Chains A and B, each alone.
Chain A
């Protein structure tokens, strides 16, 4: 059979794996939903959590579709569809595909057609290199979370501070990243200010949502404050970039 990176059989195989991923998500959703009702969480509250999560996900998911389009130029559609539906991210997949292709004497972004052997090699490198988390979680998850429960039993206040510290640690790393090109401003490249200003706009919008809720009692606005701030913050990047970019 002649190989083609967009062969229907590849679409079929990827479709089956993606269906399994959907199956796992639906299974855990139903399981958690039922448990939530059992322990007394109101259905309306669960629905709000679900709808906020869904709305919030739309913009980042569209960005993932753009990543699929970007990678499909070299790898066809099925492999990027698989890789970005399971585990992956654009930066990782690009590095993995690029390393695999250059190891075979190819240049990422300039490949017109892959042989079956090259395709398998790229797919295997992309899969195996990011494989750790999937099987490591079953090995350590229970023990780690039991440790958290033990810590909470010993000192409830510290357990809460510990949990908040983890979130703050992650957020601080991403806030630092926003400023990573700032020094360029002093050499005449104002593009480094774009992410800083977008972050600022988004933060102000979040505060504004909180103020509107406090002033007018609009509960819906606090439920959707994060997706609203995310989307309007992203939209603000368009005029900011045209001014500074």
Chain B
């Protein structure tokens, strides 16, 4: 128990150092560009751009942080919130790895497995982007080829079709209500689309947990 706690404590300590350092490094980018080129930001543009963008993304970021941490684990959370693409890449990778290893997310094995999967995914993503940047000229016509566009437009349906069938078949009792709710909402509320699906993830999570709690209390699970 003591060893487990010290490993987890070291993950939190190291994660805190890494994330805060990355936060400083990211903020330094526009500052250094300004210093090098002797220019300052357009403060009016900055404030207006920030007002138009930040309130929604800060609210989403706040909810996402509390929603995703229990699913990603400690190491996975520190990494994922730096490298991004959480719902469309890091979380599915972690879920698949937990399934593949047949371990629970809350166990120490689960913590290790999801961290490894997320770290590998982050490394591969970063390397592929680097290759893409180096080879951008020859790759641009290939990747922008009209024939391939439909395939890249359908990543999420392909991903969640495969992931969904596994999880729903294993947890069908707790899946019925949230799947019906989300189908009804997304089909009949025009505002819900690709741009707003991220906001609906916490709604789906809270609703599913509430329904599961009721079913559990009634002895149906």
Contact = CB atoms under 8 A, between A and B. Distances in A.
Contacts of A188: none
A132 B62 CA distance: 7
A75 interface: no
Interface in B125-153: 125-133, 136, 139-140, 143-144, 147-148, 150-153
B71 A137 contact: no
B117 A53 contact: yes
Interface centre among B53, B58, B67, B194 (most CB of A within 10 A): B53
Given A18-B126, A135-B20, A163-B106, A206 B165 contact: yes
A133 B122 CA distance: 17
A61 B124 contact: yes
A124 B155 contact: no
A36 B106 CA distance: 15
A134 B86 CA distance: 13
Contacts of A218: none
A95 to B, nearest CB: 6
16 contacts: A21-B126, A22-B123, A22-B127, A29-B115, A29-B123, A41-B101, A54-B121, A134-B26, A140-B65, A169-B206, A169-B209, A176-B185, A176-B204, A202-B158, A203-B164, A203-B165
Given A170-B201, A171-B164, A28 B66 contact: no
A60 B93 CA distance: 11
Interface in B48-62: 48-50, 52-54, 57-58, 61-62
B4 to A, nearest CB: 8
B120 A132 contact: no
What bracket does the count of chain A residues touching chain B fall in? 35 or more
A160 B54 CA distance: 35
Contacts of B213: 158
Contacts, number: 543
B132 A152 contact: no
Contact of B158 (A18, A69, A233): A233
Interface of B is mostly: helix
A213 to B, nearest CB: 12
Interface in A23-44: 24-29, 31-33, 35-36, 38-39, 41
B172 to A, nearest CB: 10
B7 A35 contact: yes
Contact of A136 (B61, B132, B178, B197): B61
Contact of B167 (A27, A56, A85, A171): A171
Contact of A237 (B36, B62, B151): B151
B53 A180 contact: no
A172 B178 contact: yes
Nearest to A131: B23
Given A117-B40, A158-B216, A59 B116 contact: no
CB-CB nearest 6 A-B residue pairs: A176-B182, A233-B158, A65-B132, A169-B205, A202-B161, A199-B161
A241 B153 CA distance: 10
Contacts of A163: 70-71, 104-106
A244 B50 CA distance: 40
B82 A123 contact: no
A104 B54 CA distance: 17
B117 A161 contact: no
Contact of B154 (A48, A88, A125, A195): A195
A52 B96 contact: yes
A9 B147 CA distance: 36
B178 A168 contact: yes
Nearest to A210: B166
A211 interface: no
Interface string B54-94: 10011001101111011101110111011111011101110
